Homo-oligomer: A and B are copies of this chain.
Amino acid sequence: MKFLDGQILDNSHIYSLRIHYEDTDIGGIVYHTKYLNFIERARSSLIRLLGFPAEKFLKLNQSIVVKNINISWYSPCSLGDCIFVKTNLIELKNASLCLQQVIFNEENNKKLASADVKLCFVNENMKVIKLPEKFSYVLKTNLPN
């Protein structure tokens, strides 16, 4: 089932998905907040692919939380479209990281939306903690910026 987790290609993580009925709204296009779900699936798939599935962190009472997202929508997509999320690492600090996640239409490579996503690790009390060293190392090795 590895194909479900995307792949690393030219220093980026690529995650593909098909637009389903549940993603669309009465306007005939994808409901805008679903793009944030898509990029979350891409992020979770990326760290799974790198050997750090989210459920492992949960067992250690740690989780990755989103602090800020700045997202722009450029062009719509709709039922049946194949799209992909291209994720790059743009900043890696001791206690936070920032990813750029751009969504493209698979058919014509048109850019649909683009987001900068700031994340950090928290413990069970929602206190920010240092990124696990091995995690940071694997991340910057696979997604050099």
Interface residues of A (CB under 8 A from B): 1, 3-5, 16-18, 20-22, 24-29, 31-33, 36-37, 40-41, 44-45, 48, 53-55, 58, 63, 65-73, 75-76, 78-80, 82, 106, 126
Contacts and interface: CB of A to CB of B under 8 A. Distances in A.
Given A54-B79, A73-B65, A106-B1, A33 B22 contact: yes
A80 B53 contact: yes
Contacts of A71: 68-70
A118 to B, nearest CB: 9
Given A68-B72, A70-B70, A33 B36 contact: yes
Contacts of A28: 26
Contact of A55 (B48, B67, B70, B79): B79
B82 A48 contact: no
- The CB with the most chain B CB atoms within 10 A, among A31, A58, A70, A71, is that of A31
A40 B20 contact: yes
